[in-house]
Structure formats: C-alpha cells, structure tokens
Structure 1
Amino acid sequence: MIDSQPQLDELCDRLASMSADAIACDTEFVRTQTYRPHLCVVQLCIDEVQSGIDLLAGLDTSRLIEQLMTGPQTKIFHAAKQDFEAFYCVYGRLPNRIFDTQIAAGLLGFQPQIGYASLVKELFGIDLPKDQTRTDWSKRPLTDAQIKYALDDVAHLNEVFAILGDRLEAAGRTEWVRQDCASLLDTSLYFIAADDAWRRLPGIPRLPVQIQARARSLAGWREDRAREFDRPRQWILSDKALLAIAYADPVAPGELRGLEDLSRSVIRKRGQELCALLQATNADLAAGRLELRQAPVPAPPDKKLVKHLSGIVRSTADELGMAPEILATRKDVAGILNGCDAVRALSGWRRGVIGEALLTAAS
C-alpha cells in the first residue's frame, strides 16, 4: 500500500512510461453516514503490478489524478458508476477512455450486473474472498486482509478486459459497449442541483400544484442541508416526512408535531425555517412566480400490447444471447406505449436493434 510521497511519485513515473495501453482501476470509499462518498483507497494494476494508494495518508495526488483523468490509456473498471461518483465528488472530474467490464459482460450474455468476483469465477475458475465487502476503509492502519482484498479487485481486470474485448469484437458489439460506457461520463449522474432535487421523489409532478410546489422547495432545502453538513438526505429529512410537510402546509412549528416520520429534533432545530420556506413558496406560487402544472396520471398500457412488446424483446435478446433487460426493461416498454421518447431502448445502438421494432409494434 502506497502511503508516502516518494512511493507515489515512483508510481506516477511508471504510469507515464507504461508499455500497456490499459490500466485496471478500482476505488474503496465509505458513505454510510455521509452525503458524499469519501475516497479512501485507489487501486491500480499497471503492467501486471497491483498498487494501492492510501488517499488518507496526506499525499499530493494531483499528478496521479491528472494521469487518470486525461491519460491516453483505457481505464478499466467493473461497475464504475459508484467509483465515478466518488471521483466526481472529490475531484470534480471523471476519467477519460473508460471500459466497464460489467457493462461488457452484460452485452455478451453474462448475468446482468454480474459482480466482479462472479465474473472472475466464470472466466478463470478463481474464487476471490468476500470477507472485506463491508469493511470500514477509513480506519487506519489497514489490515493485511483489507489490502489483499483491495488489490484482488484489480488483479484480474486486465485479463477480463482482454477476453471481453476480443469477444465483443467477434460479436460486432464493440460500438455497443463504447456507447454504454460513454453514458457513464454524464456528470448529471453524479451531481444534482438543489432546484432539481425533487426529481429523486417519484410522482411529484402528478401532485396538486400547491403540494407539488412545497415538495419541490423542501427537496431543494434538504439537498442543500445534506450537502452543507455532509449527511445522508434521509437523515436530514425522510421522504415520508417531506411529503407529509408538503401536504400539511404548517404555518407554525407546533403544527409539525405528529407528522409522519418527523423527529422532534428536526421540529425543534428547523421547524421555524421549514415553515418560513413553505410560506415563501406559497407566496411565490400565488404571485405567479412559479410555473407549475399537475401532470396527468398516465393510463396503464394495454396488457396485451405490453405482453406483445415484451415478447419481441425476449425473442430478440434470445437471438443475441443476452438477457432481455439489457435491451429494454418493462419500464421502457411502458414508456414507448405511453408515447415517451426518453427511454433507453430508443437511443444509441438499441434503437436499431430493438427500438424501431417496438415502435412499429406499438403503432
């Protein structure tokens, strides 16, 4: 485990002069009690040598991060989305030239969202230990078992990448994985503005306008406080409590008592602030400063059509040798039947493979 600056500088020199065109990457972080993931370790495999960098050792990692974000090598991850969220929260940047072996495996017929250990087992017959899955990576010193577990996470990634890459090329699916991996570089996946925080709560647009406006304001307030105090959103205000407040529309803290899932401490510390927020939102709505409307509840799609389109997805997936949900989910099918264009099955490579057929069948 690299925990000194000379060691890290040497690693960066190796990275700059490496002969291979791909780097296996992984991260370990903690987030159980925080809003942001707190990066603790970054693991790399460079020219078949595994290294772990202790990010809690007070090192200057600027050169390493620059190399990972802009270097010419392909950065190999497995199930990269959480790693990328951690990178983006800490550094405000994402690695370039990425390859996600979980995405690639799904396109080749492996179990959807297959875990790294399961994929290694299927490809190489190697059993990786899972005893450190829920370990606390923020505690120091790290144990030998933790270090071994962390390095194992990148020990086989280069081989997995090579095998899956060859299979994708043989199947004509290299562009498919490129597109799906590129979608992980959408920074909106990893940061949400307070004004958009209400989108995390399903059904908000279908609420009456007055309740909807208050729920949106409360969601934005919660997002700001969670970010400010670095605490999980649900610790600041649960979804149940948020909606209960939006419906109740209290004008004084005392009216918050008895609302579902709302603690006394929140009422005591934040009651006046919450009531003032609601009053300001109500005033904005009354003055016409908020342009909201209540969205209609979509009619349930015809069951026969859902069954028919789902059958098309299954038969196409069978022909391609992959799980149907890799092509289109039941939610995608329902969205197409409801006239929604913003479904994954209608974008990128999926549109030609399955999307157009579903649109034709739905018309």
Structure 2
Amino acid sequence: MYFEIVTKLSQLEHVCQQARKMPVVMLDTEFVRIRTLYPKLGLIQIFDGKTLSLIDPIELYDLSPLWELLADESVVKVLHACSEDLEVFHHYAGMMPIPMVDTQIMAAFLGHNLSMGFASLVNQYLKVSLDKGESRTHWTERPLSLKQLEYAAADVYYLLPLYNLLAERVKQAGWEEAVQQECALLMIKRSKTPDLDNAYLNIKNAWKLKPKQLAVLQKLASWRFKEAHRRDLALNFVVKELHLWKMASLNIRSLEKMADEGFDRFEIERHGKRLLLLVEEVERLPKTCHPEVVERLVDLPNYKQTIKKIKEQTNAVAETLGVVPEFIGSKKQIHQLLKWAWIHDRNPENIPDLLSGWRNAFIGDKMLALLGDI
C-alpha cells in the first residue's frame, strides 16, 4: 500500500486536480477533540483509485484545492460513518462534500446494524483484518509514525473495494435513490447552525423549571455557547451544564452561593460575576418574555400506547424490507414525528423524517393513519 504525504500547496493542487478527473474518490479525516468545541483536524486521506494521499493540514495553511474538490459535483465523495467528518468539513470549509455517499448507510440498507464499523465490514466483505490499534492516536502531534500513517491510509485504501461491492448490492436491491436521499438528509442535519435561543432545551431537566427559571437558563445557555465558540472550548469546560441548571433552579444570586453549591473555583473566578449579571438582566425582563414550560412527550396522554403502535409498524416494515427497525425509525425520529403532530401543530414546513423521502413511501400512510386515530 503506497501513499504520499502532502505538505506543500503544489502537491495538494496536483492531487486534487487528478482526483477531479475521477468519478469517485475515497475520503476520510483524522482529528482530535478533547477539550475543544470543534474538532482539531490532524490528517485528511484521499484515494482516487490510483493515488493515495495523506494531506497534512498542520503543514498546509491553504486547503482551498481540497475544498474545490469537495464542491465538485461531478465527483462522488465516499466516506464511512461520516457524521463527524461532515462536522470537520463544515467547520473548516463551511461546506459539505457534494455529492456524498456513506458506506455505513449503504450497509444499513443491506440489513446491517446502523453502527456497523468499517473494520467489521472490511472483514466481512473483503476478508481483511484491519489493525485498529492506532485509533486513539493524537493526530495533531508530529511526527506521526509509519504505523500511524499506514493505519490512516488503510481507511481509504480498503474503502474503495468495499464501496464497489456495496454499490453493486445496493443497485441490485433497488436502494440507490434511497441511499442518496439518506446521505443528503445526513448532510442537511450536520450543516444546521445551532439555535442559541433554544440551547437551553438541551440542558438536562430543563422541563422541571418554571417560566422565569427557564428565562435564566435560556440566557445562560446562550451565553455559554457563544463563549465556547469564541474560545473553541467544549461547553462543559466553560461552565458545567449542571451548574447552569442550578443557577436557574436554586435562584443563585451570589458568588458565595455558587461555591456552596459546588461550582468549580475556576468557574467562579472566570465567569461568576458575568453569570450574575446575566441573571440580573433576566430579572428586568417582563413575564411575556419568559419561555413557556417545557412540554415532555412522555407526559402527554397516550404516549406509551402510541410509541408501542409506532414501533409495531416500524418493526413490521423493517422485517419486510430486510433492515433493522431502528433504520426505519429511530427513537429520535419517532419523537420528532410525535412533536410534529402533538406540539408543533403538524407544521407543513417541517415534515418529520418518517413522513418524507424513502421512508414516506413505505410507512408514511401508516403513520398518518395511526396519528389520525389518536
């Protein structure tokens, strides 16, 4: 397995020019994210069927030829389990690889588990055992060892024959268009900009709070995300989620009370006064600006019965199609459907997954009929 390490712009330009002549290229990234909000890119792997390149973003400050390749719609970009890779591209390039095919999604249409790993698929389809011992490499450190580089290169080298095998089986099964739809849906979800006004809804136990307390939590959660973005620091390394909730629920109004409630000393020293000022801002808000109490699906009438009926339908359809039930409708997608029907007044501009795309053709009418009976 021969590969070249790309550290110069002229090399990158040549690699990407050659790749853009191919109909399909294999793509992968290696990154680390320990304390940061965004992933730190350490390596980008490309294999166009002839040339395997390991692009070093630590040495290369200008990756524009690569971003141009990602935007070239005449070249299909193939990745595996690419959700986090898409986040990398969205953060660094402000774009997604279009068009994109994820072999994990292809495998799901062929009956494999949704979390089927690359090494397992390679072993099953290609009879090759991959050494995953370097998966915990700190990819932004230099130099990288030959073993680490070979590990990274293998991820795209074996991706090509795997993709070819899966593509043929997907075609035979009649799932080509559905795969395209599912990959496009994934890219849409991964490219969404965080809604800062609703960041508080992601805080555990927000549903327990009253409107004024929610207003405090809303203000603090929005500020925390902005601070995390400014410093590229993971949210809980700015202020712990639990401590935001305590600020709102326990009516904390002093640094001493923060200390009593277990706030980290560095949280208090760096952000304590700012948090208290934000709470004071909420105190001046009229009640009309307070969020409504959070509605939980589990508290609504018929929740358990409806979930049971939906799962019966998704299980039956999954068995007919030869896929795992979670691929037809995950817990998150089922909740999305119920929120659309019960909380969001069936907004036609925000159709849930179970009523759109390829899923709608197999289960949409069943879901609408079920919801109509409730």
TM over 0.5: yes
Aligned to 2:53, the other structure's residue is in SS state: strand
Is 2:358 the counterpart of 1:356? no
Aligned to 2:293: 294
Is 2:268 the counterpart of 1:264? no
Whole-angstrom distance in 1 between the partners of 2:48 and 2:295:
54
Deviates more, 1:145-154 or 1:338-347: 338-347
- Contact kept, 8 Å, 2:100 with 2:184, in 1: the verdict is yes
- Contact kept, 8 Å, 2:203 with 2:245, in 1: the verdict is no
Aligned CA distance change for structure 1 residues 336 and 69 (closer, same or farther; 3 Å): closer
Aligned CA distance change for structure 1 residues 129 and 59 (closer, same or farther; 3 Å): same
The 5 A counterparts of 1:307-326 are 307-326=308-327
Aligned CA distance change for structure 1 residues 296 and 60 (closer, same or farther; 3 Å): closer
- Contact kept, 8 Å, 1:198 with 1:204, in 2: the verdict is yes
The 5 A counterparts of 1:89-238 are 89-186=91-188, 189=191, 191-202=193-204, 204=206, 207-238=209-240
Q: TM-score, normalised by structure 2?
A: 0.88
Aligned to 1:114, the other structure's residue is in SS state: coil
Aligned to 2:42: 40
Aligned to 2:55, the other structure's residue is in SS state: strand
- Contact kept, 8 Å, 2:333 with 2:354, in 1: the verdict is yes
Q: Note the residue ranges of structure 1 that are not aligned, 5 or more in a row.
A: none
Aligned to 2:46, the other structure's residue is in SS state: strand
Shift of 1:141: 0.8
The 5 A counterparts of 1:75-94 are 75-94=77-96
The amino acid that maps onto 1:14 is Q
- Contact kept, 8 Å, 2:246 with 2:252, in 1: the verdict is no
Aligned to 1:284, the other structure's residue is in SS state: coil
Q: Note the residue ranges of structure 2 that are not aligned, 5 or more in a row.
A: none
Cα root mean square deviation, aligned: 2.2
Whole-angstrom distance in 1 between the partners of 2:143 and 2:97:
28
The 5 A counterparts of 1:235-254 are 235-254=237-256
- Contact kept, 8 Å, 1:100 with 1:181, in 2: the verdict is yes
Q: Deviations over 1:10-49 (max 9, x none)?
A: 2133224x3x311100001111121111111110011243
Whole-angstrom distance in 1 between the partners of 2:197 and 2:301:
30
Q: Deviations over 1:156-215 (max 9, x none)?
A: 222222222222222221121111111122266454243332243255366310111111
Q: Deviations over 1:243-300 (max 9, x none)?
A: 011112333322222224x2122112211110000110221244x4x25222444326
- Contact kept, 8 Å, 2:214 with 2:290, in 1: the verdict is no
- Contact kept, 8 Å, 1:206 with 1:296, in 2: the verdict is no
Aligned to 1:11: 15
Whole-angstrom distance in 1 between the partners of 2:333 and 2:81:
22
Aligned CA distance change for structure 1 residues 304 and 278 (closer, same or farther; 3 Å): closer
Q: Deviations over 1:284-318 (max 9, x none)?
A: 244x4x25222444326354554343222212111
Q: How many residues align?
A: 358
